[in-house]
């Protein structure tokens, strides 16, 4: 068997870190060589543990700096943290190319969500009116979710058509490039995205539900397998599927 992949997790004490670490530790093909939390020195941890991969599950204010430091220290980087500013893209892409490393920026690490988005894009020509309803636990910091915004943008690019503006716009959700996105926040909910699509004559509903953060393990494992075949900024898990 080949050597286990050496992984450092940044944001190890957060909800994602705590959910994924035991699953990753239980695998024989992965070795957790570092865990970094707030207040720890990422560069020192990287120099001490020399991981092949860094998984970042932190916060939008630190993720760009983490990606830069991890690339400088020679790791492939899996960014699961949402909100990495697009303005950082040219510099991080250049750095990753200089170091011959892959930088996966995956706002959603569930292959199932990525495949749902791909299926929805293919359906748009036949059912071009689209609305999205997403629901999450009430501690979620952003609304609408990064995933639902991304789905809306993708479907708008694929030709989704806005509906008529009638009545008070407030309850009609956020207009993301002409696609309405509705957000629900309640205690106890896990991530759910419902994409409703219709024409005059037929409709379809695509629903994804994550029953826990463990749903994101498959994307991490995919990245450990396939990211080393890529150099530079990689846009979303889809590029690895």
Ligand X SMILES: NC(=O)c1ccc[n+]([C@@H]2O[C@H](COP(=O)([O-])OP(=O)(O)OC[C@H]3O[C@@H](n4cnc5c(N)ncnc54)[C@H](OP(=O)(O)O)[C@@H]3O)[C@@H](O)[C@H]2O)c1
One residue of 23, 62, 156, 239 binding ligand X per CB under 6 A: 62
C-alpha span between 65 and 55 (Å, rounded): 13
Residue 148 sits in the site that holds ligand X (CB under 6 A): no
Residue 220 sits in the site that holds ligand X (CB under 6 A): no
Stretch that binds ligand X, among 34-42, 45-53, 94-102, 162-170 (CB under 6 A): 34-42
Q: In the annotation, is 15 catalytic?
A: no
C-alpha span between 12 and 232 (Å, rounded): 25
Residue 107 sits in the site that holds ligand X (CB under 6 A): yes
- Burial (0-12, 13-18, 19+ Cβ within 10 Å), 146: middle
Residue 151 sits in the site that holds ligand X (CB under 6 A): no
**Which residue of the chain is nearest ligand X when measured via CB?**
14
H helices of 77-145, in order, are 89-98, 111-123
C-alpha span between 125 and 97 (Å, rounded): 37
CB atoms within 10 A of CB 230: 17
Which one, 141 or 166, has the nearer CB to ligand X? 141
Residues that are catalytic = 136, 140
User: Which stretches of the chain bind ligand X, using CB under 6 A?
Assistant: 10-11, 13-17, 36-38, 57-59, 62, 80-82, 106-109, 216
């Amino acid at each position: 068997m080949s050597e286990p992949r050496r992984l450092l997790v940044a944001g190890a004490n957060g909800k994602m870190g705590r959910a994924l670490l035991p699953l990753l530790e239980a695998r024989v093909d992965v070795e957790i060589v570092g865990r970094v939390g707030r207040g720890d020195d990422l560069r020192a941890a990287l120099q001490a543990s020399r991981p092949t991969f860094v998984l970042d599950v932190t916060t939008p204010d630190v993720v760009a700096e983490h990606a830069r430091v991890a690339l400088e220290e020679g790791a492939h980087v899996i960014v699961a943290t949402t909100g990495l500013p697009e303005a950082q893209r040219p510099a991080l892409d250049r750095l990753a190319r200089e170091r011959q490393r892959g930088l996966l920026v995956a706002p959603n690490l569930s292959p199932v969500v990525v495949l749902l988005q791909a299926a929805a894009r293919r359906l748009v020509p036949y059912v071009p009116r689209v609305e999205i309803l997403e629901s999450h636990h009430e501690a979620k910091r952003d609304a609408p979710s990064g995933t639902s915004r991304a789905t809306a943008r993708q479907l708008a690019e694929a030709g989704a058509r806005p509906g008529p503006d009638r009545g008070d716009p407030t309850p009609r959700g956020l207009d993301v490039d002409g696609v309405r996105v509705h957000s629900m926040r309640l205690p106890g909910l896990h991530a759910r995205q419902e994409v409703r699509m219709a024409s005059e004559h037929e409709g379809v509903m695509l629903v994804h539900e994550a029953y826990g953060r463990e749903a994101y393990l498959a994307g991490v494992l995919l990245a450990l397998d396939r990211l080393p075949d890529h150099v530079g900024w990689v846009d979303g898990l889809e590029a690895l599927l």
